[in-house]
Each structure stands twice: as C-alpha cells, then as structure tokens.
Amino acid sequence: MNHNDFKEQKPFRLVKFFTFSALMVMFAATIVISVMNAHWVRNILQEKSEDYAHLLVANLNHQVFLQFIIPAVLKYGKIKLREEAQYERMDRVIKTTLHGFNVEMVNIYDMKNTIAYSFDDKKKGLKDIGGAGYAMAIKNQANSRLIENGNFFQLLLGIPHQTKIVTFSPLRAEKPLSSVSGPVLGVVEIIQDISDDYHKIFRLQLLTVATCFGVMAVLFFILVLMVRRGEMIIEARAMERLRLEEKLQRAEHLSSIGEMTAGISHEIRNPLGIIRSSAELLKKKMAKAGQSTTIINIILEESIRLSNIIKDFLDFAKPMNPILKPCRIDEIIEKNILYLSQQIQENDFIVERQFAKPIPETMADSEKLYQAFLNIILNAFQAMSRGGKITIVLLSEDHQIIIFFHDQGKGILEESLKKIWNPFFTTKDMGTGLGMGIVKNIIESHHGTIDIYNRDSEGVTVKITLPSNERKF
C-alpha cells in the first residue's frame, strides 16, 4: 500500500473507531439512564405507597373510632379486646374498612407496646416488638420503612424477591366537629406488599434496555454495512490506482523499449538493405557464370528473415494510429482465409466459420485488423503442426462485435499465459516474441479487448471484442 492509500484509510479508520466508540458510549449511557430512571420510579413508588398507607391509617382511625371505640365504650364501659365480642366487632370494622385495599397485615398496639389486634392470631398478645417505628408513632410521629428480602444478586440488581412497606401511625381519639385530633390511644402498623410493582418496574427497565440494545444493534449492523462498503470502495480505488500505475509503468517500459528498438532497427535496416541488394546482384552474376549460388541463397534468406524481424520491431515500436473507416469484420476474415488457402490445403487444416447474421459494420482500420487476424490464425496453424480445425465464431451483442478463434492445439502452459503479452517472450524456437504484442496494440488502438485462455477440452481460444456501429446489413 502506498502513501496515498495510507492517507485515505487513516481518516476512515478514525471515523470508524469514533463511530463504534460513540455507539458503545450511547449504549452504556442508555443503561445508566435506565437504571437511574428505575431508581427514580422506585423512590416515587415508595413515596406514593407511604402516602397511601397514611391515608388508609387515617381512614381506619376514623372508622375504628366511630364504629368501634365509641359504641364499645357506650355498651361495655371500656375497651377490652380480649373479650370475643369486642374483638369480633373490631375485626369486622377493620376488614370492612380495608376491603379491596392492598394491605397484607394490620397490627394494633396498645400504649404498653402490646399487640391487641392482628390479622395473624399468633401475634396477639406479643409485647415489645414494635421497635423504633412504634416508639416514634407513640410520640405522634407517623413513619414508614422499606423491607427487601432476597439473595445477594437479587438485592444487587435491585429486584428483591419480596418488597414490603411497613407504616407505623398513631391511633388517636377524634373530637366531634373538630379538625383537631385527640390524645394517642395506641399505634396502628400496616404492612403493604409492593413486590409486584417493583417487578413491573424491573421488567420495564429490561424492556427499555432491550429496546435500546435492539436499536443499537440495528445501528451497528447499518454501520458495519457502511464500513464494509467504504472499505470496498477504498480497496477498489487502491486496486484501480495500482492497475493504472502498473499500466503506466508498462507503457513507459514499452515506450523505452520501442524507442531503443526503433533506433537500432533503423541503424540495421540500411546496411541490411545494402547486403540484400548486393547478394541479389552477386547471385545474378554467379548464375550467369554457371557457379553455385547456395551460399548466396542462404545470405538472401537470412537477410529476408532479419528484415522481417526488423519490420516486427518497427511495427511494435511505432504508435498505433489506425485510419478508421467503415468496414466489415467478416469480410476481413474471409480475406485472411483466402490468402492462407494454399497453406490450409497443403497442411490439411480445416477452417470452420460460424458467423451470426446480421453482423454490423465497425469503424476500423481494415489493414491493421487484417494483420492482427492473420497473426492469430498463423499462430493457430503453428500450434497444430499435423493438421486440425480452426473454428472462427463471429457474434454481435450489445453494440459489440465478438470474435472467437478456437484451435485444436496442445494449449499453452499457465506460466506462459501470464507472460504472453510481455515483449520478446516466445515459446517458439524462432521468432521475436512481438507478434501477440503487436496484435494487442492493434486491438486496443481500436478501443477493443483481447484475451487468450485454454479451453477445457483442447486447444486455445483467442477472444476479441470490438465496438460496432448501429447500422447493420
């Protein structure tokens, strides 16, 4: 990865880090707020329960005084809850008053801290169990306290198994037609079980946390998709930059090779032409003299071969500037086949044409395409030294002309396929290794593409794609 890629990815990584961190902080803050809200709701619930208990005691005090104390004093002269009739009347008054209210236990203490009345018969007559709550209430100070029961983890998480509010309030005499209370006659203890309310608060807290977690999970999933998309874009840009840099380096390398080749070729071409013309003149003189021309023929053949090599060098080195004119690809291929007809016949080659109809024309340099197709077909002939079939497929799809050249040769090694476009690379005993490079330059100068690959069955396929015109024949 180069310096530019690092500069692009560093801010992106910072954005990703801060975004993930923000999500985690938001989730943690949501949990804290949820816990604080639950604590606040529990405090409100406790306050409301205490107020509720004080109202119940006030109502109970009023009903007990009017419906029990006054009638009992008038009938029996004094209050004696040990007597069954008075106790049953007290029990009836209290249960009727508290009917329908959420009260678990009621205890009434006398002035000596002895339970005179209780919902639990086992507590009647117990002494000195009122504790600090009784002591404050006997002094005309109502008070409440919260009792939570459960194991360590339940208490730690704020979800005790059982939660109760115990309220102590003075039981006072009432003065008729007066808002001023009379003296304290005893103490009323009311126990309320608010466990269900606490459990509802905890479930609400869990629901809040779960909802926040779900929202965070959705945001996290969206963020992951965005991050992956961003990484893919950055990776694609890096790969594209790398590809362009490689293409630029290759172009610069080929340009330097082309300049060097062109210079050397021009320097060799002139003396080679003199050698060739001199050999031809010498051959004519020796033929007239009746002398053997074998050596001269070898000189001529090698000079012709060297001239063709120089021509390849120059064709590869010079820039491809095709002269575009409307032409037909099928006609160019037919011209190639006609030119090679004698070679096809002598070597038992078969050329099969599979041309789709209609084939649109294309703007191209027919001479250069002829050269490119000829080179491909000759390579296929060389790959099938003992005869074989070449299948040429011509298609038109999506405003493109596609040409396939299938041969029945032995194929190309994978290592060789990777180097096939490199200048001067060849698998032949003789040759410059520039033939396919020239073909590639010609095709790309026409804004086309070329690809070579081995077929699964046998042989090699050369695929060429060229742009076409809209008009068809």
Q: What is the dihedral of CA 112, 114, 117, 118, to 10 degrees?
A: 140
Q: Of 295, 444, 437, 324, whose CA–CA distance to 379 is shortest?
A: 437
Last residue of a domain, one of 193, 215, 241: 193
Domain range holding 440?
A: 320-467
- Decide if 343 is inside a domain: yes
Question: Distance between CA atoms of 364 and 366, rounded to whole angstroms?
Answer: 6
Q: Identity (one letter) of the amino acid at 446?
A: H
Last residue of a domain, one of 161, 177, 193: 193
pLDDT averaged over every residue in the chain = 79
**N-terminal to C-terminal alpha carbon distance within the chain:** 51
Last residue of a domain, one of 193, 209, 225: 193
What is the pLDDT at residue 404? 94
- Decide if 262 is inside a domain: no
Report the percent of the chain where pLDDT is more than 70.
82
Mean pLDDT of 268-272: 73
- Decide if 106 is inside a domain: yes
Say yes or no to pLDDT of 312 above 70.
Answer: no
Residue with the bigger pLDDT between 195 and 253: it is 195
Q: Which tens digits make up the pLDDT trace of 423-451?
A: 655 666 555 556 777 788 888 888 889 89
Say yes or no to pLDDT of 303 above 70.
Answer: yes
- Decide if 264 is inside a domain: no
pLDDT grade, residue 6 (50/70/90)? Answer: very low
What is the pLDDT at residue 335? 92
What CATH number corresponds to the domain at position 59?
3.30.450.20
Q: Identity (one letter) of the amino acid at 179?
A: S
Mean pLDDT of 273-293: 79
What is the pLDDT at residue 257? 64
- Decide if 411 is inside a domain: yes
Instruction: Based on the fold, state whether residues 18 and 167 are members of the same structural domain.
Output: yes
- Decide if 274 is inside a domain: no
Q: Cα separations (Å) of 122 from 107, 119, 193, 451?
A: 11, 9, 20, 100
What is the pLDDT at residue 258? 63
Q: Which tens digits make up the pLDDT trace of 142-182?
A: 888 888 887 877 766 667 778 888 999 888 887 665 555 67
Domain count, the chain: 2
Question: Distance between CA atoms of 129 and 123, rounded to whole angstroms?
Answer: 10
Conformation bin of residue 268: beta by default, left when phi > 0, alpha when psi is -120 to 50: alpha
Q: Cα separations (Å) of 168 from 12, 56, 163, 174, 191?
A: 65, 11, 17, 18, 9
What CATH number corresponds to the domain at position 333?
3.30.565.10
Question: Distance between CA atoms of 145 and 432, rounded to whole angstroms?
Answer: 103
Residue with the bigger pLDDT between 106 and 9: it is 106
Lowest mean pLDDT among 34-38, 72-76, 315-319: 315-319
What is the pLDDT at residue 3? 46
Question: Distance between CA atoms of 174 and 171, rounded to whole angstroms?
Answer: 10
Lowest mean pLDDT among 53-62, 155-164, 324-333: 155-164
Q: Which tens digits make up the pLDDT trace of 375-400?
A: 889 888 888 877 788 999 999 888 88
Pair of tokens at residue 338: 């006609």
pLDDT grade, residue 333 (50/70/90)? Answer: very high
- Decide if 310 is inside a domain: no
The CA-based diameter of the chain, rounded to the nearest angstrom, is: 175
Question: Distance between CA atoms of 260 and 446, rounded to whole angstroms?
Answer: 25
CB 386 within 8 A of CB 408: no
Instruction: Based on the fold, state whether residues 31 and 168 are members of the same structural domain.
Output: yes
Mean pLDDT of 211-240: 80
Instruction: Based on the fold, state whether residues 8 and 153 are members of the same structural domain.
Output: yes
- Decide if 302 is inside a domain: no
Residues with Cβ < 8 Å from 370, sequence gap 6 or more?
332, 335, 336
Say yes or no to pLDDT of 463 above 90.
Answer: yes
* Highest mean pLDDT (candidates 17-21, 73-77, 324-328): 324-328
Instruction: Mark out the alpha helices in 185-293 (DSSP H runs).
Output: 195-288
Instruction: Based on the fold, state whether residues 188 and 324 are members of the same structural domain.
Output: no
Lowest mean pLDDT among 3-12, 98-107, 411-420: 3-12
What is the pLDDT at residue 421? 66
CB 320 within 8 A of CB 442: yes
